[in-house]
Structure 1
Amino acid sequence: MTSTPFPEASGDLRHVGPAGHQSPAEVLAALRLPEQGRVFSLALPRYTGMPLFGSHPPFQVTMYRTPAGLRGDGVEPWGPHNEVNLQYMAENVSGTAHSGAHVDALAHMTIGEDDHWYGGGNARQHLGDRGPTVGDGSKLPPFIRRGVLLDVPGYLGVDALSSHQPVNADQLQAVAGHQGVTVGRGDVVLIRTGYLGAWPDTERMARHTTAGPDLSAARWLLAQGVVATGSDTETYEVQPAPDPGSPANPQPVHTLLLIEHGIYLFEGIYLEELAAEHIHEFLFVALPLKIKGTTGSMLDPIAIV
C-alpha cells in the first residue's frame, strides 16, 4: 500500500516532512505493538516558574475568573436567578509552545541570510505578525508510531550523563545492540540522558544540562529512516556543539534533521519510568495542538506497552 499524507498536510508534503507520510497499514501496525495495555506518561507537569531553556519566555498560569472576582465585579454569567451561588473559574495560560514536553514545528529553526526553514519557507515571504504561515504548528501531523527508547546512561551504568556530554553514532548503535532493539524506518527514537531524573531541582539538573546527540548520531538516525527523534533535555542536541563546522553552526543537529530533512524533534520528554522498567519498544502517541502561527506544540505524549 502506498503511503499517503494526513489530511493536515493540505496537499503539500514539503510542509509536513516525512512524518506526514503514513499509510493506514502503517498506523495499524503501530497500534498492534502493545501487549500489556500499560500506559506511561512521557510528560512532567507544567507550572508557573518551571525550568525552561534560558531564552524562552516564562510559563505562567494566572486566574482570569474566580468566584470572588465575579462577585466583586458584579458579573452574573447566568443572570440574577442564581439562588445556589453557582460560579466558575477560568485561567490564562501563557508561555512558549516549547514549554515542557513539546515538539518543534518545521518553522521553529531558520538558517541563512534569508532565514529559511524546511519546505521552502522563509521569513521574508512566510512570516507575519501572527507567526509563520508555512510549516507552523497547525501543520504538525499526529504521531502514532513505533517508539524506541535508547537509554544511554543505563548502558553506561550511570544515573545521568554529565553536562555537555555528547552521544555519538557508535554509542547509539551500541545501546541499541545492548538493549536488543533495532531502529527502523518510520520510527520515533527517544534518547535518554537522565537530565529529568533530577526534575525539578535546578541545582541538580545543572550538573547534567545539554548532554545529547552530536552530528554523527544525527546522521545515524537519518540512515535508519526515523521520522522523528527526541530526548529528555531542553535542547535535544549536545551543547555547545563539539563539531560546529566552518562556517560555525551552533546547532548543526537541528540544522541537519529539522531544517534540511524535516525530521521532527521532541524535547523535554520524560523517560525515567520507561528506563526504570527497561522498556525499549512501545507504541508512541503524541497529538500536537493545531494552532496557527506557532513554532511547535506542547504535548502530553504517552507510551503504551
Structure 2
Amino acid sequence: MNSPTRPHHDTDDLLRVLGIPTKGAVYDLSSGWWRHMPTFDGYPRFEVVTYNSPQGQRVSQRFPFDNPAENEVEFGYVSELVSGSLHTGTHIDALCHVTCGANDEWHGGVSAHDALGDHGAERDDASHLPPVIGRGVLLDVPAALGLEVLPPHFAIGEQHLRQAADAAELSIQDGDVVLVRTGQMKFWPDVDRIQKYSGGSGVALDGAQWLVSQGARYVGADTMSFEVRPSSVPGNQLPVHLYLLHEQGIHIMEWVNCEGLAADAVSQFLFVGLPLTISGGTGSPLRPVAVA
C-alpha cells in the first residue's frame, strides 16, 4: 500500500489561509453523485445498486435473521454496491491519469509498462493525493467579459484570465487553488444544454501556462475536461492535461460548481477538498467547499 503524500504547505501557510474567511459563508462546490449521472463517454456509467436488504436477509436467513431468538426486534440493515469511474462528477486527477509517448509515461518519466498492475497504478496514484487546503481564487471569465456563460469552444487564454483577475481585483499567489468559471454548471446536469450553449469552452494552453507562472498549485474548472475542446494544438488532443499533469505535476479538478461563488461575487476564499486516497486509482471523487 502506498503512503499518502504530505500536504503541500507548511504550518505558517496553513494558519494564514485558515484566516481568510470573514463572513462564515460555506459554498458546496460539488456536482452531487447519482446513478447514471453524466460523465465522459470513455468512462463506465456510475452505478448504485442495493447489495443487502432486510427482505433478502430474511429470505436467506442471513445475519441478523439467522437466529430469530437473538433478533426479537427484527433488526435489519441496508447496504449498497457502487461502481464507476473515479472521474465521475466533481473529482481530482492523480498524476498517473495521463500518459505520453511510446512508453506510456506519466509525470516523472514513470512508464505504465513498469508501474501499472492488475489492480491499478502502483505509483503516483490517488493514495498520494493530499488534503487540498489553501487560498482559493475564482476567475469568473464570463462575468469579466459581460456574459452569463462562455460560448461553445471558447478558448480561455492568458488575456482572459488576466482580465478576470483584474475584474476581481486580485492576483494569484504561490500555492493558490485557482478555479476557472465558464458558466457551464449553470445548466448542470442537462448535458444537452451544456453542449448547446457552452460545450467545449475551457482553458487554452497559454492560459494554463500563465496560471502556473503565477504560482497556482492546483487548478479546477466547471467543465468536464478543464481545457478547451477541440484542441488548437496540432497533433495534441489534450495539450493542457499533458502540460499540467505530465510536465508540471499539477493536479486538475473538473466539474467544480462555481455558480454559488459567482452569484455572490466571491473571488477569494478558503478552499478545502479531501480526496479519497484509493490505492491504484487515477483520481478521486471530491466534495470541495469554499469558505468565505
Give the 5 Å matches for 1:1-305.
8-9=4-5, 20-77=7-64, 79-80=67-68, 81-207=70-196, 208-242=198-232, 244-245=233-234, 248-305=235-292
Q: Which ranges in structure 2 are unaligned for 5 or more consecutive residues?
A: none
Measure the CA separation in 1 of the matches of 2:185 and 2:209.
25
Paired residues of 1:190 and 1:229 also in contact (CA < 8 A): yes
Of 77-86 and 226-235, the range deviating more from structure 2: 77-86
Paired residues of 2:64 and 2:71 also in contact (CA < 8 A): no
For each residue in 1:73-118, what CA deviation from the matched residue of structure 2 results, as whole angstroms up to 9, or x when unmatched? 2213263221221111000111111010000000000001111111
Measure the CA separation in 1 of the matches of 2:242 and 2:17.
28
Shift of 1:37: 1.5
Residue identity in the other structure for 1:229: V
Paired residues of 1:119 and 1:135 also in contact (CA < 8 A): no
Q: How much is the aligned-residue C-alpha RMSD, in angstroms?
A: 1.3
Shift of 1:188: 0.7
Residue identity in the other structure for 2:131: P
Question: 1:172 is paired with a residue of what secondary structure?
Answer: helix
Q: Which residue of structure 2 lines up, in the alignment, with residue 3 of structure 1?
A: none
Question: 1:203 is paired with a residue of what secondary structure?
Answer: helix
Shift of 1:222: 1.1
Of 74-83 and 165-174, the range deviating more from structure 2: 74-83
Question: 1:205 is paired with a residue of what secondary structure?
Answer: helix
Measure the CA separation in 2 of the matches of 1:144 and 1:288.
11
Identical columns (%): 41
Measure the CA separation in 2 of the matches of 1:49 and 1:32.
39
Shift of 1:225: 1.1
Question: 2:240 is paired with a residue of what secondary structure?
Answer: helix
Paired residues of 2:54 and 2:76 also in contact (CA < 8 A): yes
Residue identity in the other structure for 1:9: T
The alignment of Structure 1 onto Structure 2 pairs a total of residues equal to: 287
Paired residues of 1:210 and 1:236 also in contact (CA < 8 A): no
Of 195-204 and 215-224, the range deviating more from structure 2: 195-204
Paired residues of 2:138 and 2:268 also in contact (CA < 8 A): yes
Q: TM-score, normalised by structure 1?
A: 0.91
Measure the CA separation in 2 of the matches of 1:298 and 1:271.
17
Q: Which residue of structure 2 lines up, in the alignment, with residue 14 of structure 1?
A: none
Shift of 1:156: 1.7
Shift of 1:196: 1.0
Question: Which consecutive aligned stretches of 4+ in structure 1 deviate over 3 angstroms post-superposition?
Answer: none
Question: 2:135 is paired with a residue of what secondary structure?
Answer: strand
Shift of 1:258: 0.8
Paired residues of 1:167 and 1:212 also in contact (CA < 8 A): yes
Residue identity in the other structure for 1:222: V
Paired residues of 2:4 and 2:277 also in contact (CA < 8 A): no
Residue identity in the other structure for 2:272: V
Paired residues of 2:64 and 2:75 also in contact (CA < 8 A): no
Measure the CA separation in 2 of the matches of 1:61 and 1:211.
31
Residue identity in the other structure for 1:270: N
